[in-house]
Chains A and B, each alone.
Chain A
Amino acid sequence: MASSHSNTHTEAAKLEQIITEFFYKSLLIILESRSPYVSSRNYSGEQIMSSPSSSSSSSSGVRPRDKWFNLALRECPSALENFDLCRQSNFEPVVVDVILEQKQLDWDPVTFSPKSDLVKHSSSKDKNSFFWNSDQEESGCEAKGEKVIERWFVQHESRKGRDCSSGSRRSSSNNLSALYKKLILLLRSLYVTVRLLPAYKIFRDLNSSGQIRAFKLVPRVSSSVESFTQKEEAEMQRFWFTPVDTSCGRLCLSVLYRSSISDISSESSTPMSPQFIPDYVGSPLTDPLRRFPSLPVSQGSPSSLPFSRRHSWSFDRYKASPPSVSFSPSPTHSESHALVSNPSSRRAPPMSLPPHPPGASLPHKKNTNFDEYWPSPNFSASPSPSPSPSPSPSPPIRIPGGHLSKALLRSESAPVNIPVRKLAGSPALSCKQNLPPSPPLKISRADISWTDNNMGPMKSGATIEKLFSFGKGDGQKYSGVNSPRTSFFRSSSRSIQDDFDDSEVPCPFDVEYDDMDPGSRPESYDRRGNPSDPNEAGLFMNRKSQDAAVGALVQMLKKAPPLRQDIPSSINFSEASRPEMWNNNIQEQNQNTEAVTVEHDASSIITSSRLVASMTTADALEELRSYKEMKNLLLSDDGKS
């Protein structure tokens, strides 16, 4: 029964450490059970509720701190911070107020998570006080109603006139281990108690995912607080944990709590269903990668109508384009495989598809199939003469556009795009000539299915991106391009007209994909004709309203910096791996090698344009110039052929 502690430290030092750790552990226990989304309740390994802030990690494995008091808890970063303060304050009493805040129900639809709510800054004069909240954010807005429902005190009462060292002289290691055992017991009972107090019910409610509550719990840690008024105090009950004597004082733990808060917790709860969009819309908070390229538009456009607008667009398209479209709304990647396997005469459409920049498409696909790339070879094959980047905006560009658009966004310079466009355009033309005319509609269909694709692929997108080491930004931008393509294949393979239901049309994001298709089909291109500004042609936005496009552009620009980081890797990928894939495809398809080459060039251009962003202006210009040269060269080649 001797203490397991080594004797390397003096008793006093050990004691001090034990007390320190006790402070920390008790804080942790309290905070963890009062801070929704960080609790051990959800601790089956994964973080709870998609809350980004929820901390760390692994619940498995024993961390050094877990061994203290033999109580393994989740780490709680905020508790740690607070703990540091405690330590600095040399065992000053620590007070944790658990505050129940009523809040308005005007949720931010995007954010939606209650957690995102900020801690109200109560104007506390106490400099030492700080607020704990999971987001580590603070908002200036006033809390509507704040009510302290619990006040925890953790403190070490030193005996006056005697310092620890004198106490320690008398203490044996046995005393120390006895103390430690008692503190373990105390913490066990604290752990159970926090779950029995009324506030825990609120915590539980907040933590249950089904409801949005009109209130929240905010633990606030400080070293001193205003004392309650008598009236307030009268409403509260106190529970004292039995103090544990140390050699130089005693550790005290107590709580003042309101016994009647159940009415509050049960009073207002709002079903969250209407607002619960994050999974589909991809709230930026939840996962930035999931933000759709199109989303920016919505920001740009003042109204919240973007979705509906898109719908209408897609719808129009749909009308405009013959129903021939065989899009299956719910795109599955596997479906795309099917297409490939049955590349009948239908193939044309795929071919028409612009060669997606390798990088672009890959990131979003869950399971990238080489098959999917096969179309691109065709594309390259089509070094058809019509480099004519006719004013017709986009379609041709579309495919390349995806890449280009990225590049553009980054560099912000239109010029880069233009060249690309031409390239893209040529393929489209070639397709027309070489390939059997596939129904233009199909292409447009791709748009429709887009939405679906987004959901699936985009979610997985993050992972894929990592695999390919693409920049996040790239991933985002690419995602748009990507998904359409996938759908396209699908549609071609299936060629089921029925699939195309009106119901599918509504997909908000369909519109954007149209652009891609257009590229592949000259005809469709003409039809669309309207077009959008050539400069933007590269972007998928051409179909969108101008403000939308501007908004999107702005958004993209904002995002540009992060993208740069990963550029090198993406380049490598595109240059190295891509060609191989292409080759494979080509072989399968019996495409001519030339096509491959062309393709390669195109892709490299694209990548290089991406690079530009990360360089200095001078470098960028330099490079740009070289690319232009290349472009011209290519174009001229095309023209000859």
Chain B
Amino acid sequence: MNCEVCQLKELEVEHFEIREVLRCILHTIVFHRALGLVRPKDVDLELFEITYVQCGDVELEKKIDEKIDHFISWVEKHPNKKSQICLSFYEVKSKQPSWFTNKTERLYWEQWYVNLNVTQHPKHHSSKSHHTKLVVDPGESATEERSCRRAMVEASLREVLFQIIKFVNEKKDHVPPISEGVIYFPYEITIPSSSDSAFGMDMIKRMLHSGHPTMLS
């Protein structure tokens, strides 16, 4: 089984936007992979005029939030770094034990990479304009800039969401058959761990398991 990979367009976000943006993206992806009976739940973002869809599973929501928390704390320790979050879907196969793992193995059939560039740009900027510049209208220009920046983030977030939709539309064959009673395919969310090397190892491991990922984008 092929493992399809989708590299999502990098988003430049501020720290306070991380949570909403990630929620939006991750839930949108999972909704497309929740092929069991779902009662969709619309969620309006607070920061952007975007509505995304959750599949209404509390546990899923909790897990995603947890991961986001971890990610945010990681970001705080590693400021100004590009970071990547991987959402992978797999099947559990209990096949013959390979030399690599035990009885059960995860067959990854899809991986989504969410790329974030967390900036602190606005903070510095606003403080600068306040203190140093000739004060023409610091408030106004700052506000304007902010809303402009926000519009750009919103547009690129929207773009990412469409990227997801397109990917879902174009790649359907690799999606495993639906099993009765299962709402969404097993998934895992990987965030950069405290040591980058571990994260890299994890990736390598996963590649070994799932075969050669096809990079698209």
- Grouping DSSP codes into helix (H, G, I), strand (E, B) and loop, the A interface class, with mixed when no group exceeds half, is helix
**CB–CB B35/A189 < 8 A:** no
For B, the interface residue count at a CB cutoff of 8 angstroms equals 32
Per-residue CB contact flags for chain A residues 189-224 toward chain B (1 = under 8 Å, else 0) read: 101110110001100100000000000000000000
In this assembly, does A238 line the interface, its C-beta being within 8 Å of a C-beta of chain B? no
By size class, the interface of chain A is 20 to 34
**CB–CB A1/B32 < 8 A:** no
The residue from A62, A188, A195 contacting B168, defined by CB atoms under 8 A apart: A188
**Distance between Cα atoms of A11 and B53 in the complex (Å):** 33
**CB–CB B178/A72 < 8 A:** no
A residues less than 8 Å from B152 (CB atoms): none
**CB–CB B37/A70 < 8 A:** yes
**CB–CB B38/A71 < 8 A:** yes
Within 8 A of A (CB), among B43-72: 44, 49-53
Per-residue CB contact flags for chain A residues 16-41 toward chain B (1 = under 8 Å, else 0) read: 00000000000000000000000011
**CB–CB B32/A70 < 8 A:** no
**CB–CB A185/B37 < 8 A:** no
B residues less than 8 Å from A241 (CB atoms): 169
Instruction: Given A195-B51, A242-B169, answer yes or no on A181-B40 (Cβ-Cβ < 8 Å).
Output: no
**Residue on A with the closest CB to B157?**
A196
**CB–CB B178/A184 < 8 A:** yes
**CB–CB B42/A40 < 8 A:** yes
The residue from A72, A181, A200, A201 contacting B35, defined by CB atoms under 8 A apart: A181
B residues less than 8 Å from A337 (CB atoms): none
**Distance between Cα atoms of A182 and B51 in the complex (Å):** 24
In this assembly, does B133 line the interface, its C-beta being within 8 Å of a C-beta of chain A? no
**Residue on B with the closest CB to A195?**
B51
B residues less than 8 Å from A71 (CB atoms): 37-38, 40
**CB–CB A185/B32 < 8 A:** yes
The residue from A40, A62, A66, A188 contacting B31, defined by CB atoms under 8 A apart: A188
**CB–CB A192/B52 < 8 A:** yes
In this assembly, does A546 line the interface, its C-beta being within 8 Å of a C-beta of chain B? no
**Residue on B with the closest CB to A174?**
B177
**CB–CB A185/B35 < 8 A:** yes
In this assembly, does B39 line the interface, its C-beta being within 8 Å of a C-beta of chain A? yes
Q: Which of B38, B50, B170 has the most CB of A within 10 A?
A: B38
In this assembly, does B161 line the interface, its C-beta being within 8 Å of a C-beta of chain A? yes
**CB–CB A200/B51 < 8 A:** yes
Q: Which of B31, B162, B172 has the most CB of A within 10 A?
A: B172
Q: Distance in Å from the Cβ of B148 to the closest Cβ of chain A?
A: 15
In this assembly, does B179 line the interface, its C-beta being within 8 Å of a C-beta of chain A? yes
A residues less than 8 Å from B172 (CB atoms): 181-182, 185, 242, 244
Per-residue CB contact flags for chain A residues 37-73 toward chain B (1 = under 8 Å, else 0) read: 0001100000000000000000100100011001111
In this assembly, does A186 line the interface, its C-beta being within 8 Å of a C-beta of chain B? yes
**CB–CB A201/B49 < 8 A:** yes
Q: Distance in Å from the Cβ of B75 to the closest Cβ of chain A?
A: 26
Number of A-B contacts (CB under 8 A): 87
**CB–CB B32/A189 < 8 A:** yes
**CB–CB A67/B37 < 8 A:** yes
In this assembly, does A177 line the interface, its C-beta being within 8 Å of a C-beta of chain B? yes
In this assembly, does A6 line the interface, its C-beta being within 8 Å of a C-beta of chain B? no
Q: Distance in Å from the Cβ of B123 to the closest Cβ of chain A?
A: 29
In this assembly, does B213 line the interface, its C-beta being within 8 Å of a C-beta of chain A? no
Q: Distance in Å from the Cβ of A271 to the closest Cβ of chain B?
A: 20
In this assembly, does A303 line the interface, its C-beta being within 8 Å of a C-beta of chain B? no
**Distance between Cα atoms of A484 and B38 in the complex (Å):** 51
B residues less than 8 Å from A188 (CB atoms): 31-32, 34-35, 168
Q: Distance in Å from the Cβ of A635 to the closest Cβ of chain B?
A: 66
**Distance between Cα atoms of A193 and B165 in the complex (Å):** 7
In this assembly, does A4 line the interface, its C-beta being within 8 Å of a C-beta of chain B? yes
Per-residue CB contact flags for chain B residues 168-197 toward chain A (1 = under 8 Å, else 0) read: 111010011111100000000000000000
Q: Distance in Å from the Cβ of B116 to the closest Cβ of chain A?
A: 20
Q: Which of A193, A196, A201, A244 has the most CB of B within 10 A?
A: A196
**CB–CB A181/B175 < 8 A:** yes
**Distance between Cα atoms of A242 and B167 in the complex (Å):** 10
**CB–CB A1/B177 < 8 A:** yes
**CB–CB A185/B175 < 8 A:** yes
The residue from A195, A200, A242 contacting B170, defined by CB atoms under 8 A apart: A242
**CB–CB B158/A72 < 8 A:** no
In this assembly, does B7 line the interface, its C-beta being within 8 Å of a C-beta of chain A? no
**Distance between Cα atoms of A4 and B40 in the complex (Å):** 23
In this assembly, does B138 line the interface, its C-beta being within 8 Å of a C-beta of chain A? no
The residue from B37, B50, B177, B179 contacting A62, defined by CB atoms under 8 A apart: B37
Q: Distance in Å from the Cβ of A80 to the closest Cβ of chain B?
A: 19
B residues less than 8 Å from A41 (CB atoms): 42
B residues less than 8 Å from A244 (CB atoms): 172
**CB–CB A191/B53 < 8 A:** yes
Within 8 A of B (CB), among A142-190: 177-178, 181-182, 184-186, 188-189
**Distance between Cα atoms of A244 and B169 in the complex (Å):** 9
Q: Which of B34, B36, B177 has the most CB of A within 10 A?
A: B177
**Distance between Cα atoms of A186 and B170 in the complex (Å):** 10
B residues less than 8 Å from A186 (CB atoms): 169
Q: Distance in Å from the Cβ of A600 to the closest Cβ of chain B?
A: 55
Q: Which of A62, A191, A192 has the most CB of B within 10 A?
A: A192
Of all A-B residue pairs in the complex, the 9 with the closest CB atoms, nearest first, are: A1-B177, A242-B169, A72-B39, A70-B37, A195-B51, A189-B165, A182-B172, A189-B168, A188-B32
Residues of B whose CB lies within 8 Å of any CB of A are: 28, 31-32, 34-40, 42, 44, 49-53, 158, 161-162, 164-165, 168-170, 172, 175-180
Known interface pairs A184-B35, A192-B161; 17 further A-B residue pairs with C-beta atoms within 8 A, sorted by A's residue number:
A1-B176, A40-B40, A59-B39, A72-B37, A72-B38, A72-B39, A73-B40, A177-B177, A178-B177, A185-B32, A185-B35, A192-B32, A193-B165, A195-B42, A195-B53, A196-B165, A241-B169
Query: Can you give 8 A-B contacts (C-beta < 8 A)?
Result: A66-B39, A184-B35, A191-B53, A192-B161, A192-B165, A193-B165, A196-B165, A242-B170
